[in-house]
């Protein structure tokens, strides 16, 4: 993806120039259940079905049978302070059908999430308990700094 916009052609400029287009594709988890051979992407609204197909076939060497796209309206949101309405950008979704022999499951990126959270909570509990111990110890001598002890 290039960060440049394709410059508009002006008379006298060189004509045959190839820039990297502003194309991007983001794999997203489908909101509704789909056949195993269908993959959902959020793509740049400028990409056509053929762009999506070529992108996946030429760059990632994926077998693509068919591509269907739609443009979803961006969400609107009301400003909490001033009450004006703002809108997010529209997104194009591409539903890519692969051969029926293929199956795609959306990767579970947060497999260890629960485990990690448990570990974090454990350390938090430990520090809480330590602080409670400190409070208990200094109950009878309020205002004493933490280091004033054996």
| Contacting positions for other proteins (CB under 8 A) | 31-35, 37-38, 63-66, 68, 76-78, 83, 85, 87, 95, 97, 99-100
Comparison of 86 and 117: residue with beta carbon closer to other proteins? 86
Comparison of 74 and 130: residue with beta carbon closer to other proteins? 74
DSSP code, position 13: S
User: Rounded to 5 degrees, what angle do the CA atoms 79, 82, 83 make?
Assistant: 55
Helix (H, G, I), strand (E, B) or coil at 49: helix
Comparison of 32 and 108: residue with beta carbon closer to other proteins? 32
Comparison of 73 and 124: residue with beta carbon closer to other proteins? 73
Structure tokens at 15: 């004509």
Strand bridging mode 25-27 / 38-43? antiparallel
Provide the β-strand partners of residue 81.
none
Strand bridging mode 76-78 / 66-72? unpaired
37 by Cβ neighbours in 10 Å (0-12 / 13-18 / 19+) ranks as: middle
């Amino acid at each position: 993806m290039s960060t440049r916009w394709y410059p508009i052609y002006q008379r006298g400029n060189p004509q045959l120039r190839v820039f990297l287009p502003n194309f991007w594709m983001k794999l997203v988890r489908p909101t509704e259940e789909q056949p195993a051979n269908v993959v959902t992407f959020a793509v740049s609204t400028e990409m056509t079905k053929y762009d999506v197909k070529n992108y996946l076939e030429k760059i990632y060497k994926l077998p693509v049978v068919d591509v269907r796209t739609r443009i979803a309206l961006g969400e609107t949101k009301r400003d909490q302070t001033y009450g004006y309405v703002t809108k997010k950008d529209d997104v194009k979704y591409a539903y890519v059908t692969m051969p029926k022999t293929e199956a795609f499951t959306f990767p579970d990126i947060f497999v260890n999430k629960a485990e990690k959270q448990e570990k974090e909570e454990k350390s938090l509990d430990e520090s809480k308990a330590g602080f409670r111990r400190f409070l208990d110890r200094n109950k009878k001598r309020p205002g004493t700094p933490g280091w004033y002890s054996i």
